[in-house]
Chain A
Amino acid sequence: MTAIVKNLQPRPPASSNLISFQGVDLELAGRPILEGIDLAIRPGEFLCVVGPSGCGKTSLLRLIAGLFLPTRGQVHYDGKLVTGPSRELAIVFQDYGKALLPWRTVAGNVSLALEAMHVPRSERANRIASLLAKVGLTHHAEKFPNQLSGGMQQRLQIARCLAQEPKVLLMDEPFGALDAITRQTLQDELLRIVADSGATAFFVTHDLEEAIYLGDRVIAMKANPGRVTETFEVDLPRPRDQLSTPELPEFLRLRRALFDFIKDAEA
């Protein structure tokens, strides 16, 4: 809903930003990781982050998640200073195999988030069933994660995140380890889920085409120290289509611009 409405309306004023970085520096063990980050993310926006490895994409995500705190500057979420993790923001990790509990079934893994949300036991079964239906895992509820393919494990992790009913989905190269076909299917499912829930998405990837295909906006980072150097507005119609969207002239223009940027950043 929100995604469609957003495309029809002009960009909301700056005061309505959901997430904002103000002059953020991050150092880990004395090493500068991120420097001078100023960034605003609008509610309902799908923001993709690209950049060479080691440019601090994941650190940026972890600052929003509250898993890292800035060395200098501030990160605000929904007008409040970020001081730690919040259940309103769900994290989809790249290494789905490590983020799932191997001793719990598919249903049990989804249940974990519901338990964290203090959902009463009697309501959990229904919620789990509808979440698993949403990601196409209905018939695998009683399996253990190691009985699932990589794509199914990542679907499960997404289901667990959706169980949090998050306002923001933070995704760290979630499809990076999947084969091309599975990745395309999951990209479309993700777009549908995000559109349905109206959630804001922060999506880290190293795949430029993926970033353009998914995003409303792509920010590009450079390394040493990590900083945001360019922003690309993605003015492509939604819903997007795996076949026709990448053939649009605007897609090709963005692809070339990002490609040139990355080549330059990695030089």
Chain B
Amino acid sequence: MTRKWRGAVVPVTLLVLAEIYCFATNLESDSLARPSDIAVAAVQALLDGEILRSTAQTLWAAAAGLGIGFTIGLSVGVLLGLFAIFNDLMEFSIEAFRPIPSVALIPVAMLLLGFGYGMEISIVAFATTWPILILTRAAISGIEPRLIEVARALRFGLFARIWKIVLPAALPRIFVALRLAIGVALVVAVTVEISSNPLGLGYAMMSAQQSLHPDLMFALLFWTGLVGWAVNAGLLQLQRRFFGPAAAVEVLP
């Protein structure tokens, strides 16, 4: 039980040291803030609902973009993994578009869609499509060929083959792709907000910085980290729950 808390030693020590340093030097700064001030700013922002509103905005944009990216990436990835002809047709286009950094699309998206959810969601969708697509394709071409033969021998149609064999066989790896893409979605959403879009946690951080409130800025930064951690922890929980039985099977007598 005590082992669990060992991980807390380093961050707590650092916070205490930072507090002592600020107290000793009597810190007055537009760019740094005392840990205690950051905590106060965090509580205030939580109480007046600002943090929660920004969080909801960021999460909504990230989730909507991810939903689109996941749907496109999964369906195209399945097609590419199943049919060599699609792969041959698409290979060049994919490799041409994929290396475009998603944030480089901000000017284009801004021009086409203006500020707001639309542009943020479409950039997140672009950014998350690729990891899902590439990993789904790899997951499907990595399926045991014998299973595909079993499906052929039983004369399943395309839909039944995908539903009963291909997707379940690729699911654990697709879920890993999803976890990866969720990380990408959060990073890209916050980046878009910081660089241009007047929404969410990224924008809140930028306004705090520009209005010379480093305490609020750091409070938002830590909060953003916390949100990312919580999302990942939730996903790990889900993964254990859905793929747990298969993994736990081996330890049963």
- Are the C-beta atoms of A116 and B252 separated by less than 8 Å? no
The reply to whether the CB of B246 lies closer than 8 angstroms to some CB of chain A is: yes
Please indicate the chain B residues that have their CB under 8 angstroms from the CB of A101 in the complex.
147, 165, 168-169
Residues of A within 8 A of B240 (CB): none
Q: Is the CB of A87 within 8 A of B154?
A: yes
Distance in Å from the Cβ of B96 to the closest Cβ of chain A?
Answer: 31
Q: In the complex, are the beta carbons of B249 and A99 less than 8 A apart?
A: no
**A98 interface hit (Cβ, 8 Å):** yes
- The proximity string for B residues 179-190 relative to A, scoring 1 for CB distances below 8 Å and 0 otherwise, is 000000000000
Tell whether B156 is near chain A: CB-to-CB under 8 Å.
yes
A98 touching B154 by the CB < 8 A rule? no
Contact of B153 among A90, A102, A144, A146 (CB under 8 A): A90
Chain A residues with CB below 8 A from B160, complex form: 115-116
Q: Do A116 and B156 contact each other (CB < 8 Å), given the known contacts A99-B147, A101-B147, A101-B168?
A: yes
Taking a contact as CB atoms under 8 Å apart, the answer to whether B246 and A85 are in contact is: no
Contact: B246 with A67, CB < 8 Å?
Answer: no
Contact between A115 and B164, CB atoms less than 8 A apart: yes
Given the complex, which residues of B lie within 8 Å of A115, measured CB to CB?
A: 160, 164
**Which residues, 24 to 77 on B, are CB-close (under 8 Å) to A?**
none
Q: Interface residues of A, CB < 8 Å — how many?
A: 25
Residues of A within 8 A of B169 (CB): 101, 103
Which of A86, A93, A95, A99 is close to B155, meaning CB atoms less than 8 Å apart? Answer: A86
Chain B: interface secondary structure?
helix
Q: Indicate whether A85 sits within 8 Å of B164 (C-beta atoms), given known contacts A99-B146, A99-B150.
A: no
Known: A98-B147, A99-B147, A101-B147. A113 touches B246 (CB 8 A): no
CB-defined contacts of A3 to chain B, threshold 8 Å = none
A85 touches B146 (CB 8 A): no
Number of interface residues of B (CB under 8 A): 21
Within 8 A of A (CB), among B127-150: 144, 146-147, 149-150
CA distance A85 to B150 in the complex (A): 10
Chain B: CB-nearest residue to A86: B155
* Interface membership of A184, Cβ < 8 A: no
Is B250 at the interface (CB under 8 A from chain A)?
yes
- In the complex the two chains form, what is the Cα distance from A2 to B154 in whole Å? 25
Q: Is the CB of B152 closer than 8 A to any CB of chain A?
A: yes
Bound CA–CA A77/B4 (angstroms): 66
Chain A contacts of B252 at CB under 8 A?
A: 147
B176 to chain A, nearest CB (A): 16
Q: Tell me the smallest distance from the CB of B137 to a CB of chain A, in Å.
A: 20
A81 to B137, CA, bound (A): 35
Task: For B152, list chain A residues within 8 Å (CB).
Answer: 67, 85
By a CB distance below 8 angstroms, the chain A residues around B149 are 67, 91, 93, 99
Knowing A67-B153, A85-B153, say if A95 contacts B146 (CB, 8 Å): yes
* B67-96 near A? 1/0 per residue, CB < 8 Å: 000000000000000000000000000000
Residue A164 CB within 8 A of the other chain: yes
The verdict on A144 contacting B146 (CB below 8 Å), with A85-B155, A112-B164 known, is: no
Interface centre among A67, A87, A99, by most B CB within 10 Å?
Answer: A99
B164 touching A102, Cβ below 8 Å: no
Q: Show the binding face of B for A, using Cβ within 8 Å.
A: 144, 146-147, 149-150, 152-156, 160, 164-165, 168-169, 171, 245-246, 249-250, 252
12 A-B Cβ contacts within 8 A?
A: A67-B149, A85-B155, A87-B154, A90-B153, A93-B149, A98-B146, A101-B168, A112-B164, A115-B164, A116-B155, A116-B156, A147-B249
Q: 5 tightest A-B contacts by CB? A: A116-B154, A98-B146, A85-B153, A98-B144, A99-B146
6 other contacts beyond A93-B150, A95-B146, with CB at 8 A cut-off?
A: A87-B154, A89-B153, A90-B153, A103-B168, A112-B150, A112-B164
Chain A residues proximal to chain B, CB less than 8 Å: 65, 67, 84-87, 89-91, 93, 95, 98-99, 101-104, 112-113, 115-116, 144, 146-147, 164
